[in-house]
Amino acid sequence: MGATAYSLTAYQEQLPQVELIKPDRGRLPPECLTDGPDGKIMNTVERQEGPWGQRYVIKQLTVYAYQELPEGGFFV
């Protein structure tokens, strides 16, 4: 019998912190979109079944159709 163990304690404090949100009827806070070469960029997280359970995969999407809202944020 064998086991594989991973330890993240050495650099865990250096990893970026993120906050996962669900869009409220297509409305996103301004920090959710950043400027990209072809438009706004939005990071999404997809939950998948991985070899050791669930894993989360980050994907970047270019958003071409959005509207800036008067109260701040975006409608996508």
Strand 39-50 versus strand 33-36 pairing type:
antiparallel
Q: What is the mean pLDDT of residues 1-29?
A: 70
Domain positions in the chain are 31-71
pLDDT in tens, 24-72: 888 888 888 888 888 889 888 888 888 888 888 888 889 888 888 898 8
What is the rounded average pLDDT of the residues 16-21? 73
Please tell me the number of Cα atoms within 13 Å of 12 on its side-chain side.
5
In terms of Cβ atoms closer than 10 Å to its own Cβ (0-12, 13-18, 19+), residue 29 is: middle
